[in-house]
Every structure is written in structure tokens, then in C-alpha cells.
Structure 1
């Protein structure tokens, strides 16, 4: 998907030639979006007396992981292909308490004027076959350098604490078995994913009941 870029900005693939430059730009993008999320969370606390965000994790993908992903998708391992075809070099994960917070946070991010939403994948409404649930966004935001503005892609994952616990365990299991876990383990994971979804729904309902009682008093 091509981005509509301002005349003063450049695509990251235009003149980035080394891993050091890639690392600089993606780390800068992560710092910017992390600061934005912290400000939004603080504002929400000030206005609503409630923090929708439990915690935030940010990382730049390791070069060897990027190379593996390129090879898996049939691309040559070049800097240009890294930034053109790998959308999760910079990744940020936002962990919140309730499923309603996920969509609230996604909307707040989308409303930022200098953030362009490229794609959205809602694995909460449409879970993966494994049972994986999360809300994914690929966004682009400008990184201001001394001589130019570079638009950098960041993957944002938003999920509840329960979803994150399940996803972390599933990742460890699949890594241990190199993606070929025994069938009965995969079945157990899928059943646990349903339990997690039910728990999230019940906790959200409980929270709404508590809020309603507080409102009455």
C-alpha cells in the first residue's frame, strides 16, 4: 500500500543504506509513539480518573529475525526489502484491562493527526484458528531528522492482560516445537483461548456493573 507523503518527507526506502540507519529511525519512531501513548493515558486519567493502559512493551526486531521473515516470504535479504516488506521491524504492544479499552485506545491513536493508519487486523472479532486474539494496526508516523522527515512504519498490537498471557505461552510452545506442536497441545491451547475470551467478557461485565453501582451512589 503506497503512502501519500508530503513533499518535505521521504519514504524510508529512498535513501537508507545501512542497518545502523534503519535501527536509528525505527527506534526514534518507537520513542515518539510511546510518548504519544503515555500522554494519552495521562490525559485519560486526568479526565476520566481511569487508566485504560496497564503497560506498554516496545522493541525493534532483531536483524536475524527480519532475515528469516524475508526468506520465508521469498525476498532477498537487503535493506530495501527489510523496510519495504517487513511491517513489524518496530513493534509496540499495549496491554489493557478490558476489551472495551482496546477499541478506545485504537481510536485515540487513529485520531492523532500525524499518524496514518495503513492496515488494521481485528483478531478479537475474527480470531485466528489457533484462538489467538489481539488488535493489530500498521501505522506510519514522521521521524524528524536534521535535514529531512522520514515516514516510518510501526506495528501496534493492543490486547488485554489475559490475551497477552495466552499469546506469550502459545509463542513459547510454538517456538519450542518449531511451529509443529503435537495436536493435543494445539487443541488445549484453542480451548484455553476460549476460556480467556469468556474471562475477558465476564470481567468486562463485572466492571460495568461496578461502574453502574458507583454512578448510583
Structure 2
């Protein structure tokens, strides 16, 4: 069956839109890799030079096209690429799970003080937890990505959590998914209580760590 000229034009336009979307996603993927590399270098430095590794896990996540479209619709945004780039800042994400709360802030400082990293937004949910007890340090940073066409700066959301915070957040997400966001009040209260218990555990474990490793603190001068 022959495609009409109008259909050919529509098909070409759709393919161009698809290709532009794919290029945009690749840019965010490259930015995500840049941040992952920076975190990996810090982890390896601590492991080999300081005999202490404050990083337990590093996970990366790139939003799917469907997730981006859903967020555009939910926020009532125009669907053009400039709006998406400006308004949706968590397309690329890196989660850093640390041993202790002090490590969260240490890693945040070591990452954001690097010369080619710019900080857009910081949300400290450790100092000011969400009502449900959620704790984490969120930062939207920008890193340069060097392409054949030139250098672009890409925003990446970086979340810093302790092991206890990450465990709680993972369970909370699964419960909200199971109940489609309408979690029974009894479970909401139990989650809040669990968040408080996780916070207390973080404090106790960090105190034990300090007592077991009493001595001069690690001082990082240059990164």
C-alpha cells in the first residue's frame, strides 16, 4: 500500500520528534554517567587512600519517555523540549547510599565543590524531614557533557541517604504503589513511626562508629 504525501510528511515529522527525544535522553544519560564517575572516583579514593569508604551503594536511573510524558501532563506543561529541559530536573538521577548521616553531608560537599559542578537546588529533608518521616538530601546539580557538537550542561538529581533511610524509602514506595497512593491511616502511622526508629538507629550507629574509631578525623583539603 502506497503512503500518501501527507502521510509521508506526518511520518517524517513523527520520526524527527522521536529522534530529538532520543537525543535529549542520551544527553541526560551522559550527564548521569559523569556524576556516577565522580562518585566512583571519590569512593575509590577513600577506599585506597583513607582506608574508609563512606559510600555503600550507588544507583543510577534515567526516566523513561512514558514517565517524562506523564510528568508533563501532571504538571500541565507545554510539551516542547525547552519547557521539558527547564521544568523537569529529575530526568537523570543518581542515588548515593552512605553509611552515616555525617557521610551524607561529606559526600555532598566533596561532589558540589568540584570546579565543573554547579548547584541549582538543594532540599535537605534530613534537617527538615517530610511529614511522613522521609529523610534524604536532594540536590539538582549541573555537569558539563562534552559532545562532538560542543559542550552542554546537563542537570542531574543526586539523592544522598543513609542505609536506614534508603531501606525505609524503598518500603514506603512499595506500600504506596500497592495501595495506589491511598494508604490506610494505620499503615501511614506505622511508616511514620518506622521513620523515627530509623533516624534513632542512624544516630546510635554513628555514635558507635565514632567511639570504635576514636581518633583524628579525616580532613580532605583538595578534591
1:73 Cα deviation after fit: 1.4
Q: Of 185, 193, 196, which residue of structure 2 is paired with 1:194?
A: 196
Local SS of the residue matching 2:110: helix
What is the alpha-carbon distance in structure 2 between the residues aligned to residue 30 and residue 133 of structure 1?
23
Residue 18 of structure 1: SS of its match in structure 2?
helix
5+ long unaligned stretches in structure 1 = 1-16
Distance 2:216 2:155 in 1: 42
Higher RCO, 1 vs 2 (CA within 8 Å, ≥6 residues apart): 1
The alignment's TM-score, normalised by the length of structure 2, stands at 0.85
Question: 1:214 Cα deviation (Å)?
Answer: 10
Aligned to 2:23: 21
Deviation at 1:45, TM superposition (A): 2.3
Runs of 4+ in 1 over 4 A off after TM superposition: none
Q: 1:107 aligns with which of 106, 109, 130?
A: 109
Q: Determine the structure 1 residue equivalent to 2:129.
A: 127
Residue 71 of structure 1 and its aligned partner are, at CA, apart by 1.6
Aligned residues: 200
| CA distance in 2: counterparts of 1:169 and 1:79, whole angstroms | 34
Quick one: distance in 2 between partners of 1:201 and 1:59? Answer: 29
| 1:34-82 Cα distance to aligned partner (Å, 9 max, x none) | 1111111111223321001011000111111112222221113333322
SS at match of 1:212: coil
Greater shift, 80-89 or 114-123, is seen at 80-89
Q: 1:150 corresponds to which residue?
A: 152
Structure whose CA Rg is larger: 2
Give the TM-score, by structure 1 length: 0.88
Structure 2: tracts of 5 or more residues without a match: 1-18, 218-223
- Report the equivalent of 1:118: 120
What RMSD over aligned residues (CA atoms) do the two structures have, in Å? 1.8
